[in-house]
Amino acid sequence: MNCTWQAGRGAPADTQYFLYWQKSREDNQMECELYIKDENDRNIGCTFQNVSIGTEKAYFLVNGSSKDSLIQFYDEYIDLYKIEKLMPPSNITVNCDEIKNDCIIQWQRPQISHSNKDMCFKYEINIKYKVRMSSLTLNINSYICIYQCINIFLRSSTRKKYVLKMRAAGSACLVSPAWGEWSAPVEFGK
């Protein structure tokens, strides 16, 4: 988890910032383990390792200190699942049937720490192929994958090479509805 902030506009040059967070009301408050610094060696961000996202709001506090003046603190409660950036689907495979002219696309849902349900996601599949040095894009609409992650793609030609990319977004459960990162391209066909 990465957290960032900006120094206050009127903050003296010696101002230093410290971040504390509390995963839930029952947990202890923790200070940042690894600060991100600016060119003046001032803390402007923090990286936390191995963060699991719960369903409760997490509490964040950025405190500042200076020899010259009092620094206003900033605090906020945040639903982490709402701002989580989803990784792309994994283990994407494409198996084509040369006789039927169709391909079965399968994948595994993104891994998140607070749900193991397939029905929490929708997927966007982007398939492209080259036509005389230009790129024609065929898009399959976003849809919700429930239980089994599978899609059947009907090829217009068995003699073309296709490139597929996928990404995911939350469609239910406590998962961010924002589209995540695209997967690495997967090539299939001739």
| Residue 33 domain boundaries | 2-82
**Domain final position from 59, 82, 105:** 82
Q: Are residues 69 and 156 in the same domain?
A: no
Task: State the total domains in the chain.
Answer: 2
Q: Are residues 65 and 134 in the same domain?
A: no
Read off the tokens for 116. 């193991």
Biggest CA–CA distance in the chain, Å, is 78
Phi, psi torsion values for 171, nearest 5 degrees: -120, -10
pLDDT at 66: 92
Q: Are residues 65 and 138 in the same domain?
A: no
Polymer length of the chain: 190
Q: Are residues 118 and 177 in the same domain?
A: yes
**Domain final position from 82, 110, 137:** 82
Q: Are residues 118 and 176 in the same domain?
A: yes
pLDDT by position in tens, the chain (length 190): 889 998 888 888 889 999 999 887 778 888 998 999 988 899 999 998 877 777 788 999 999 999 988 888 899 999 888 888 888 999 999 988 877 878 888 998 887 766 666 678 888 888 887 655 455 554 544 455 554 567 777 776 667 788 888 998 888 788 888 899 999 999 887 7
pLDDT at 64: 92
Which helix (H) or strand (E) is 36 found in, with range?
strand 34-37
Helices (H), ranges, the chain: 80-83
Q: Are residues 41 and 102 in the same domain?
A: no
pLDDT at 182: 93
| CATH number of the domain where residue 49 is located | 2.60.40.10
From the number of C-beta atoms within 10 Å of its C-beta (0-12, 13-18, 19+), residue 109 rates as buried
The reported pTM is: 0.69
How far, CA to CA in Å, does 22 sit from each of 4, 47, 55, 134? 16, 14, 13, 52
Q: Are residues 78 and 7 in the same domain?
A: yes
Q: Are residues 65 and 49 in the same domain?
A: yes
**Domain final position from 82, 108, 140:** 82
Q: Are residues 106 and 178 in the same domain?
A: yes
Q: Are residues 58 and 103 in the same domain?
A: no
List of residues 6+ apart from 80 with CB closer than 8 A: 1, 51, 53, 54, 58
